[in-house]
Amino acid sequence: MSLLFALEETREFFMEAFLKALREKPLNKISVKELCQRTGYNRSTFYYYFEDVYDLRKQVETNLIHSIISEISLQPNLTDEKFIKSLITVHKVYGEIIVFLNRDSSFYESYKQALQPHLLAFLKVEKLNTELDLIFDFVMGGIFALLEKYARQDIPLTVEELTLFIQEQINKLSVWHSYSNNENSH
C-alpha cells in the first residue's frame, strides 16, 4: 500500500465516522474525541487532516459537491430533461448525506454556487441580472427541496415522473417570465 493511499484512506475513515455521527446527532454535539474513538486513531492524526469538526464538515461538503458536479459534467450536450434527470439521479445516490449535511450547515449555498455555472449554461444565459438571480434562487430552492424529499423517499414518483414534473414547473415559470418581460416592454 502506498503512503499516499494510506493517508487518503485515513482521511476517508474520519469522514465516514463523521457522517455516521451526523446521522445520530447535530454537528455541534460531535467531538474530535468521539471521531477518534470511532476510527481508532488518535487526536494528533485527526488534526493532521482537519483543523476541527467544522473543517471536516467543510471538506466532506466540498468532496460531495465535487462528486456531484463531476457526474453532471461527464454528460455532454445535456438537454433540459437529461440535466434534471442527472440531478435527480445524483440526489438519489447521495441523498442521505445531502440531507444530513444540509441540516447543520450552509451546504445548500455552497451547492447552489457550484451548480450555478452549469445552470447558466443549461439556461443559455451568460450571467444573472437581479431578476434572474431571484428566479434562480426561487427555482433552485424548489428543486433542492423536491430532491431532498425524493432522497428521503417522501415522493412516490419515478425519476422520469419527477423529471417531467420539474420540467413542467420550469416551463411555466419561463412562460410567466417571458410574458412579464413583454408586458413591461410595452
**Spans of the chain, pLDDT less than 70:** 1-6, 73-80, 103-105, 122-123, 173-186
Q: Is the pTM of this model over 0.85?
A: no
Domains, the chain, with CATH or none: 1-50 (1.10.10), 54-185 (1.10.357)
Q: What is the pLDDT of residue 174?
A: 65
Can you spell out the DSSP letters for the chain? --HHHHHHHHHHHHHHHHHHHHHHS-GGG--HHHHHHHHT--HHHHHHH-SSHHHHHHHHHHHHHHHHHHHHHTSSS--HHHHHHHHHHHHHHHHHHHHHHHHSSSHHHHHHHHHHHHHHHHHT-SS--HHHHHHHHHHHHHHHHHHHHHHTT-S---HHHHHHHHHHHHHHHHHHHHHHHHHHH-
pLDDT of residue 6: 67
DSSP 74-88: TSSS--HHHHHHHHH
For position 56, what pLDDT does the model report? 96
Task: State the pLDDT at residue 171.
Answer: 74
Burial 69-80 (b: 16+ CB within 10 A, else e): beebeeeeebee
Q: Are 75 and 86 in contact (CB under 8 A)?
A: yes
Q: Which residue has the cell 469538526?
A: 53
pLDDT tens-digit map of 142-151: 888 888 888 8
The string of pLDDT tens digits covering residues 160-171 is 999 888 888 877
